Amino acid sequence: MKKNFIAYAAISLGIMLSFTLLTRHINNTSIVDKQPSNRITTSIYDEDRTLRKSDFIIATQSENSNTAYDMDLALNSAQDGKKVISSNKSLSRGTSTLPSVQTNKDTYTSKVKLVDWWKGGSSIFSIGTTAQVKDLYTGKTFNVTRTMGTNHADCETPTKEDTNIMKSIWGGFSWDRRPIILTINGERYAASMSAMPHAGIDSAPAYDYIKNRSGGYGSGENLDVIKGNGMDGHFDIHFLNSTRHKDNKKDPEHQAAILKAAGK
């Protein structure tokens, strides 16, 4: 009887042990199945690197994108002072495509040089040089050629098209001084310009003695050099410290416009 009891107990113990091992195996299997996929989440970031919507916007990523890489790019860009990050393409693992970045940098006065007329300006914008004018307020551009002038640059437009753009900025021919950016050989210079042609007639040969020159300049040498450009005579472009021809004095309005163009 005692032997039968011991045998029964041993069998029962074996069954319980087997059941326990089986239960643990099932539970372990369930835990493994519930482990997250190998996607990298934002939990890898330290608390001091929390992303803020006010700093930038991250474009929606596809399900297979490298989220950690994308977010790290956004973080680094935000920390560099960039305001908006946008991209319509997700960044997949192993690619080197970067999101486009938009900034609010002032495009008018960046890298604009303020040059004294008597200390290099006259040589930079020498007679015969064609330059691009960019109006500071409208952003419109057209070409001009320096044809003469000593105290400042006397200029003409090379074509009627340039003349029409100039007139669209000033609202016709005008003595109003406006700040401009003058581009010469890839360099940008602060200058001021008025758009009133004077001292010449387009239909007469250059430098001939004529009457009734434009702008009320009366009789004298025809100072209109470029023909067929839709204007009679030339207009003025001033640099820092350049002066008027009539009295050798600086024009206050031109000088103020030059400083405006230079961002001063």
Per residue in 102-142, pLDDT tens?
333 344 445 999 999 999 999 999 999 999 999 999 999 99
Same-domain status, 82 and 126: no
pLDDT > 70: percent of the chain: 58
Q: How far is CA 94 from CA 66, 247, 263, in A?
A: 9, 69, 44
Same-domain status, 208 and 98: no
- Examine the fold and report which residue of 61, 83, 102 is the final residue of a domain before the chain moves on: 102
Residue 10 lies in a domain: no
Residue 13 lies in a domain: no
- Which residues of the chain are modeled with pLDDT < 50? 2, 26, 29-109
- The Cα–Cα gap between 114 and 263 comes to 10
pLDDT, position 1? 52
Residue 31 lies in a domain: no
- The Cα–Cα gap between 179 and 153 comes to 15
Q: For the chain, how far is it from start to end, CA to CA, in angstroms?
A: 112
Q: How many separate domains does the chain show?
A: 2
Same-domain status, 160 and 234: yes
pLDDT, position 97? 32
Whole-model pTM: value is: 0.60
Q: Which two tokens stand for residue 155?
A: 């200029």
Residue 1 lies in a domain: no
Same-domain status, 249 and 134: yes
Closest to 134 (Cα-Cα) out of 108, 99, 159: 108
Same-domain status, 89 and 122: no
Same-domain status, 59 and 165: no
pLDDT, position 18? 56
Closest to 201 (Cα-Cα) out of 172, 171, 228: 228
The torsion of the CA quartet 101, 102, 108, 113, rounded to 10 degrees, works out to: -20
Residue-number span of the structural domain to which 53 is assigned: 42-102
pLDDT, position 54? 31
pLDDT, position 46? 33
- Examine the fold and report which residue of 74, 102, 130 is the final residue of a domain before the chain moves on: 102
pLDDT, position 13? 57
Which residue has 């495009």 as its token pair?
107
pLDDT, position 5? 53
Residue 242 lies in a domain: yes
Closest to 154 (Cα-Cα) out of 237, 211, 73: 237
Residue 8 lies in a domain: no
Same-domain status, 98 and 188: no
- Examine the fold and report which residue of 102, 132, 148 is the final residue of a domain before the chain moves on: 102
